[in-house]
Structure 1
Amino acid sequence: MLPSQHDLFEIPPGVCYLDGAAYSLSPRPVRAAGEHGVLTKSQPWNHPEARADALAERARAAAARLIGATPDNVAILGSVSQGIATAARCLPLPTGQRILRMEHEFPSQSLIWDRLAAERGLLLEIVPRPVNGDWTSALLAAITRPGAPPIAVAALTPLHWSDGALVSLDRLMPVLREAGAAVVVDATQAVGVIPLDVAVLQPDFVAFPTYKWLLGPYGLAFLYAAPHRQNGLPLDENSTNRPGGIPAPGARRYDKGERNDPILLPMALAGMELVLGWGVEAVAGHLRHLTDRLAQHAASLGLDVLRPDRRAPHILGIRIPGGMPPGLLAALAAGGIYCSDRLGVLRVSPHLWCREEDPDRFREGIGRALARS
């Protein structure tokens, strides 16, 4: 099993950080890349390479490798919301057809579809959260419901951000392709841990950032656009996506302005190269080991978690009977343990910075906090 990479991170002994799904830590190589990037702005005449296209292309290639794409099919953007907005701008949305999404979806994958459904006369179908956590069966039932209008676009994700409940794109995509639906995937909480192969899945668009499971900076994201979706309009038109006034080839036509960022790009590249060096499946295996132990501890305290085959390897949603006690997160933080409350679920999300003893420390900390509450 891939060992802990704790020494790559700057974590004081008293901190047990289990909130990677909210905001990952920067490993030392990522921090060093950013610091070097900042310095290039102090004396730019000494660093002409910092503004060249080569760094952007290396980052694009690394992002492509993570999802089984080619660099020509990947655009560089500033956020996942920009990626989803680009997809929405490029897709036909016929009146009377359905836009399908999951309940309590993250704003970047819900707000724009909800607005477009209302503006263009589409039927918005929001699939409720299944009590048993089986999103795949719930979505399949909605997709194939007899007599339902055709699906214009399915806005999906490989797992629900709030509790790590898995969504099997492997099972859903063939059915959606057969139905002629476009598919836009927000892979924010997946890329870097859950293997995703666009050559096999054949989605229309996939967007993901660098600041979560790729250990990179805030403010940078990538968008995969299938070859037949590369003739649309970008969100803005600039010298990188319209060189000489002509749209750039492939997905580069969607690149953001000020793309060649000398700070964010090297940080993102450093983080992605670490993940690629470890291997996505190896990262998943290590994090599954940690979340399985966390789940066992939660169950020993009478708390509810999804069964193993329905939860992601890196995000554990813990449901507390009677709801989240007031002050629980603050009590945990006072003991140096950091998690999140998402939709009333205690979301625990470790990464390779965790020590082997961190699950046990979590169990002791939450046990004390619940006893006091």
Structure 2
Amino acid sequence: MLKCQKDKFSLDSSVTYLNCAYMSPLLKSVEQIGIEAIQKKQKPWNIAPSDFFTGVNNLKKSFSELINASNTESIALIPSVSYGIATVAKNIPLKKGEKVVVLDEQFPSNYYSWKRLTDNSDAELVVIKRPKSTSIGEDWNAAIINAIDSSVKVVSMAHVHWADGTLFKLEEISALCKKVGALLIIDGTQSVGALPFDVQKIKPDALICAGYKWLLGPYSQGVAYYGEYFNNGKPIEENWINRFESEDFTGLVNYNDNYQAGAFRYSVGEHSNFILVPMLNEAFTNILNWGVDNIQSYCKNLIAESIDELTSAGYRLEHSEFRSNHLFGIRLNDASRMEQLKTKIQNQNISVSYRGDAIRLSPNVYNDSTDIEKLKNCLLTN
């Protein structure tokens, strides 16, 4: 059983941080790797041509293991979710009458590219609205399933909704996408690293992840998985390192029309980043050592008792079958109390987020029962 890992983070004891969905703190070891990497840049003569590839290959290998990808050739390094989604959209031709399905209020980086693509193609952007019911997760999943037919060419969504942690049944959705010939594109930013994601089971056509939340890495360093559909696509930019035989620096003046194998072509320029890449890889090493299953179980055990108490007190939470344990929304029956609760939570120096009508709680392995108890007391006391 995984124990609390608070000692591995440089957290301020005066702050109760329950907000990993906003941004994770850095592990001490990730911070140290970053410092060492900055210092290495002070002596550039010690950076060899092979270093442009070694760190990247290590990171791709770690991410492949994290998502159970069969090889590293399907992995690309990206600076942001918007970059990864734009790469996908660039390689999907649409025509009038075809549809792209997205979710209501999904993160903007996984919306704007689809809006532009459908506008330019005279195709239809279908937004599956959040149900106004007491069974949001169940009804929302059903609405997605009902919307996928032969006219749908893309379904682009998250594993869990960023605003309230609603959990989507991706294996079922993926199977239907395969049946009708639609591509399934997943924004894994709010799940991968804390909730198990297996590309062999879910079979997404692309999985796009920012690295600074549940992957515990630095800002502006992300990773993406691209399936077979994208093996021969066109990247957003044409940078030298993504071309075939770019390892041979003496031959770079001999321009090459061929790309490196697989998804390598989609990596952002200067993706060898000698500071951010080793930092993210160190974060991956810790996550793999803990085990993503264990991280999710840790969060589940951490919140179980408090969730029962909150629901008994009249707060509304999604049913456990349709709710993640690392990220979830707490809704009030009396919305007029929200401002009062915000003040109480702020006065106790507790960091959470507010998304729509939900208090968004997102604990991780650095939290313990004392942290949860502190927030619960704010919610349960007058």
Give structure 1 regions of 4+ aligned residues with deviation exceeding 4 angstroms: none
Counterpart in 1 of 2:376? 363
Distance 1:275 1:295 in 2: 26
Structure 2 match to 1:177: 178
Contact 1:92 1:152 in 2 (8 A): no
- 1:315 is matched with which residue? 327
Q: Deviations over 1:311-349 (max 9, x none)?
A: 012112001123262264343132121100012210000
1:290-309 CA deviation, whole Å, 9 max, x = no partner?
Answer: 23234224224321111111
For residue 79 of structure 2, what is the aligned residue in structure 1?
78
1:27-73 per-residue CA deviation (whole Å, 9 max, x = no partner) reads: 11111111111111222224447943100110011111111112010
Contact 1:100-1:154 within 8 A present in 2 as well? yes
Write the mapping of 1:196-235 to structure 2, written as runs, cut at 5 A.
196-235=197-236
Q: Are 1:348 and 2:361 matched, yes or no?
A: yes
CA contact (8 A) 2:76 2:264 kept: yes
AA in 1 matched with 2:83: Q
Matched, 1:139 2:144: yes
Structure 1 unaligned spans of 5+: none
- Over the residues paired in the alignment, what is the CA RMSD in angstroms? 1.7
Whether the aligned pair in 1 keeps the contact of 2:158 and 2:187 (CA below 8 Å) is yes
Shift of 1:238: 0.7
- Structure 1 match to 2:350: 337
Q: Does 1:116 align with 2:117?
A: yes
Query: Which residues of structure 2 form unaligned runs of 5+?
Result: 247-254
User: What is the aligned partner in structure 2 of residue 274 from structure 1?
Assistant: 286
Match of 1:289 in 2: 301
The 8 Å contact of residues 11 and 25 in structure 2, kept in 1 or not, is answered as no
Query: Percent identity between the aligned chains?
Result: 30
| TM-score (normalised: structure 2) | 0.91
Q: 1:4: which partner in 2?
A: 4
Q: What is aligned with 2:100?
A: 99
Does structure 1 conserve the Cα–Cα contact (< 8 Å) formed by 2:99 and 2:152?
Answer: yes
- For residue 236 of structure 1, what is the amino acid of its counterpart? E
Q: Which amino acid aligns with 2:377?
A: E
CA contact under 8 A between 1:293 and 1:359: conserved in structure 2? no
CA distances 1:174-228 after superposition (whole Å, capped 9, x unpaired): 1110001011111111111222121222221110121111111110111111123
In the alignment, the residues of structure 2 paired with residue 91 and residue 294 of structure 1 have an alpha-carbon distance, to the nearest angstrom, of 45
TM-score of the superposition, structure 1-length normalised? Answer: 0.93
2:68 maps to what in 1?
68
